[in-house]
Amino acid sequence: MPELVALRRQGPIGVITINNPPVNALSPGVPEGIRAALEAMRGEEAIRAVVLIGGGRTFIAGADIKEFGKITSGEKQRGAGLVPFLLEIEDFPKPVVAAIHGAALGGGLEVALACHHRVAAPSARVGQPEVKLGIIPGAGGTQRLPRLAGVAKATAMCAQGDPIPAEEALQFGIVDRIMDGDLAAGAVEFAQEIAGRGEPPRKTRERGEKLLRDPSNAAILAAAREQAAKKQRGMIAPLKAIDAIEAATKLSFEEGCRAEAALFQECLFSDQSKALIHVFFGERAVAKIPDIPPETAAIAIRQAAIVGAGTMGAGIAMAYANAGIPVILKEVEQQALDGCLARIQKNYSDSVNKGRFTQQWVDERRALIQPSLSYDGFGEADIVVEAVFEGMDLKKQVFAELNKVCKPEAILASNTSSLDIDQIAAATLRPQMVIGHHFFSPANVMRLLEIVRGKATSREVIAASMALARRLGKVGVLVGNCRGFVGNRMYHQYQRQAQFLLEEGARVEEVDGALYKFGMAMGPLAVGDLSGLDVSWRIRKEYRHLEEPGARRPLAADRLCEMGRFGQKTGAGWYRYDESRKPIPDPEVEKLIEQCAREAGIERRKIAPEEIVERTIYGLLNEGARILEEGIALRPVDIDIIFLNGYGFPAYRGGPMWYADTVGLQKVYERIRQFEQLHGALWTPSPLLKQLAEQGKTFAAAG
Ligand code: T1G
């Protein structure tokens, strides 16, 4: 194992290299190694300046996030943290130059800011993403960054957490020079140039000119708070980051660092941070499939094809094209195909108008989508995604055709959101090549790809699907085959409870309001209207024969559909919609619900928001526990990642299973038992939940 930190001398320049793969995190031993290397050169006359560079693919990607859990669990003291170490770099008597490639993130950028100069490779990115972990920069980033980049830029970077490219960092004075070619060589040359000037090292903390103590700072900070409240609704850390920047504009550097440290500590021990760190590692954990070793041969995907150019087909085609994969898009009728191409064109133009993509980028991507009315070219496709109407007979017909026209090694994927993958696979002679690729609408935007493993699906097809998800910029989560898979199966319970609550007395906007306040991106009824009430109506009718005779079911949704109220697409559903698609509560719907309640013999009552949240979210996670028992989800974290990336569950609550652990399984279990007594067998607690609650355990520990 090479040393974590290596020192070599190149003429008058000392080069310190960090070797802590995979991302050179500031794990224990790294700051100590850098400190020791600096000390070794402090009195060495021959050394005139120092270069600090990352070994491997990146500069420092931040503090070691794995260490945070040890601190918040009390296993380890936080100690003085990184602040004193960075002051030592800043106070080093010889110029220290940070040479940045890959990413300088969090504590990594803070180390670079404490250096006297920064140079970067053109492809480098720098940022303070701590808020995405529910914390704020804790090593002086909120104090040094505004001194270099100005209050507005530093506030945006620390409050939003998005990295910026090297060119922009140069523009804002965060880096001093972009180095084409060999970064290490360029940095050594730059360090010699600096040493040659014979000036004392310039300390970032002493560069207050951009702080300005300017009255416009107040306006900048106020606007940032407003934006954070809107765009990062419910999150604490972005507002704390802005407080820390404000401290920089008002206090001395030392006082500002103390204010930052207190805010950091407050965030670090918050439930939100624990949840977001769970999500960070969770998004990486779901990529690991226990029975599929990382070296499993992955099928190369160079050409794709899609059957069905509806809303989903269009989004999936764009997802492939955006990843640079040529894709054939087949439809049966020219008119439908033209309609789809027009939607794709509008989608791309909107993105250009919003400055998200350049026209050239869009033209190149658009050219990768080849419309077709036949299976011509399907023989060359490495993967085919079926995205036709959600009916078993039609899907089986399509797969029987694909079985004839596709090459034997082609992956045959279905975008079904609930139908049995094994039944679909049985329509082919190659069930081992069949898999579910359940995209979420809009498929070119939503990050989740629910990958459904059939009984016969081969390891190679699964490995290729997981790799493809990353290539499409998606989070791929592998699940087992059952009705509604993981996401929709759980969401069905959540939706059903929402509709029961209406009949029991809650108003449409009260149910949605309670879940929106809880942090859901949108309330369940508004989601129904957005995705189309007719979609779930068709599925309910398809499965009605499987329902328990006499089991209670909510009535209003079917009635709305019988009235042709399918939601936004018909201008009315649970809400009425004006031209701007603003949802307006509709007294007609309230009357209809009262009628349904009377038919069901239900006496309506006032229902508190807390009960609305408990009924819907506990319904969801109780089903989640059953799914874990059945092995349909590999780990509780897989369920969490599915709901964060596919169903608008708030990331700062960590996902439904993590949230249950935060509330405490004992409390959740007791409440579900109460619901069982009040509302019957629908609420029978899952045996796993009962067992863990009685043992005082958590889903995370059981995972
Ligand atoms: N600490 C510990 N492990 C880390 C890590 C980190 N900072 N960053 C990545 N890893 C692990 C990750 O779990 C995975 O492990 C492997 O490295 C590869 O990562 C004081 C308090 C750098 C852009 O938030 O955004 O500094 O799964 O799969 O896609 O103010 O990793 O292989 O076992 O993501 O190429 C702030 C977090 C910390 C950056 C590379 N820093 N990292 O992406 O690889 S807080 C961050 C990333 C802080 C200071 C504060 C990305 C990446 P495994 P990967 P990638």
Closest CA to 60 of 51, 69, 52: 52
Residue nearest to atom 47 of ligand 1 (CA): 61
Cβ(62) – ligand 1 distance below 6 Å? yes
Structure tokens at 166: 């090297």
Residue nearest to atom 55 of ligand 1 (CA): 23
Cβ(30) – ligand 1 distance below 6 Å? no
Which ligand 1 atom is at minimum distance from the Cα of 136?
30
In the chain the first and final C-alpha atoms are separated, in Å, by 31
Spatial CB neighbours of 674, under 8 Å, sequence gap ≥ 6: none
The residue whose CB lies within 8 Å of the most ligand 1 atoms, and thus the one to mutate among 23, 145, 260, is: 23
| Ligand 1 geometric centre to CA of 137 (Å) | 15
Whole-angstrom Cα distance, residue 586 to residue 185?
Answer: 69
Strand ranges of the sheet holding 164-165, from the earlier edge strand across to the other edge: 103-105, 125-127, 164-165
Whole-angstrom Cα distance, residue 465 to residue 298?
Answer: 8
* 532 alpha carbon, distance to own chain's centre: 25
What is the Cβ-side half-sphere exposure of residue 65, based on CA atoms within 13 angstroms? 25
CB-neighbour burial class of residue 251 (10 A; exposed 0-12, middle 13-18, buried 19+)? middle
Give the catalytic positions in this structure. Answer: 110, 130
Helix/strand/coil (H, E, C) string of 39-106?
A: HHHHCCCCCCEEEEEECCCCCCCCECCHHHHHHHCCCCCCCCCCHHHHHHHHCCCCCEEEEECCEEEC
Whole-angstrom Cα distance, residue 653 to residue 659?
Answer: 6
Residue nearest to atom 42 of ligand 1 (CA): 61
Could you please report the per-residue DSSP string of 112-164?
HHHSSEEEE-TT-EEE-GGGGGT----SSHHHHHHHHH-HHHHHHHHHH---E
Strands in 563-664 per DSSP E: 575-577, 583-585
Cβ(284) – ligand 1 distance below 6 Å? yes
Residue nearest to atom 54 of ligand 1 (CA): 284
Cβ(81) – ligand 1 distance below 6 Å? no
Strands in 377-470 per DSSP E: 383-386, 411-414, 434-439, 448-452
Max CA pair span of the chain: 92
Could you please report the per-residue DSSP string of 225-288?
HHHHHHHTTT-SHHHHHHHHHHHHHHS-HHHHHHHHHHHHHHHHTSHHHHHHHHHHHHHHHTT-
Structure tokens at 653: 């609550």
Q: Phi and psi at residue 529, in whole multiples of 5°?
A: -65, -35
| Ligand 1 geometric centre to CA of 430 (Å) | 40
Asked whether the beta carbons of 331 and 373 are under 8 A apart, the reply is yes
Can you give the pLDDT at residue 212? 64
Cβ(470) – ligand 1 distance below 6 Å? no
Cβ(523) – ligand 1 distance below 6 Å? no
Quote the pTM value: 0.96
Residue nearest to atom 53 of ligand 1 (CA): 284
| Ligand 1 geometric centre to CA of 138 (Å) | 16
Which ligand 1 atom is at minimum distance from the Cα of 287?
27
| Ligand 1 geometric centre to CA of 6 (Å) | 21
| Ligand 1 geometric centre to CA of 61 (Å) | 6
Cβ(145) – ligand 1 distance below 6 Å? no
Whole-angstrom Cα distance, residue 97 to residue 191?
Answer: 6
Position of tokens 């024969």?
545
Position of tokens 């006297």?
116
**DSSP code, position 447:** -
Cβ(598) – ligand 1 distance below 6 Å? no
Cβ(146) – ligand 1 distance below 6 Å? no
Cβ(61) – ligand 1 distance below 6 Å? yes
Closest CA to 651 of 351, 337, 302, 273: 273
Which ligand 1 atom is at minimum distance from the Cα of 68?
21
Omega into 22 within 30° of 0, i.e. cis? yes
What is the Cβ-side half-sphere exposure of residue 202, based on CA atoms within 13 angstroms? 13
Whole-angstrom Cα distance, residue 196 to residue 511?
Answer: 69
Position of tokens 């506990």?
618
Cβ(475) – ligand 1 distance below 6 Å? no
Can you give the pLDDT at residue 444? 96
Q: What is the dihedral angle through the alpha carbons of 276, 280, 282, 287, rounded to the nearest 10 degrees?
A: 160
Count of H helices and E strands in the chain? 30, 19
CB-neighbour burial class of residue 50 (10 A; exposed 0-12, middle 13-18, buried 19+)? buried
| Ligand 1 geometric centre to CA of 23 (Å) | 6
| Ligand 1 geometric centre to CA of 372 (Å) | 43
| Ligand 1 geometric centre to CA of 66 (Å) | 9
Q: State the 10-residue block means of pLDDT for the chain, 703 residues long.
A: 87 98 96 97 97 98 94 74 94 98 98 98 98 98 97 98 98 97 98 95 92 81 97 97 96 96 96 98 97 91 97 97 98 96 95 92 96 97 96 96 98 96 98 98 96 98 97 98 96 96 98 98 96 88 73 90 96 95 96 96 97 98 98 98 98 98 98 96 96 97 86
Cβ(283) – ligand 1 distance below 6 Å? no
Closest CA to 155 of 261, 204, 226, 252: 226
Asked whether the beta carbons of 146 and 245 are under 8 A apart, the reply is yes
Cβ(25) – ligand 1 distance below 6 Å? yes
Residue nearest to atom 37 of ligand 1 (CA): 61
In 161-215, which ranges are continuous DSSP H helix? 166-171, 183-197
Residue nearest to atom 13 of ligand 1 (CA): 281
Residue nearest to atom 18 of ligand 1 (CA): 22
For 559, the enclosing helix (H) or strand (E) is helix 556-562
Angle between helix 636-646 and helix 487-504 axes, rounded to 10 deg: 70
Q: How many CB atoms lie within 10 A of CB 81?
A: 19
| Ligand 1 geometric centre to CA of 221 (Å) | 29
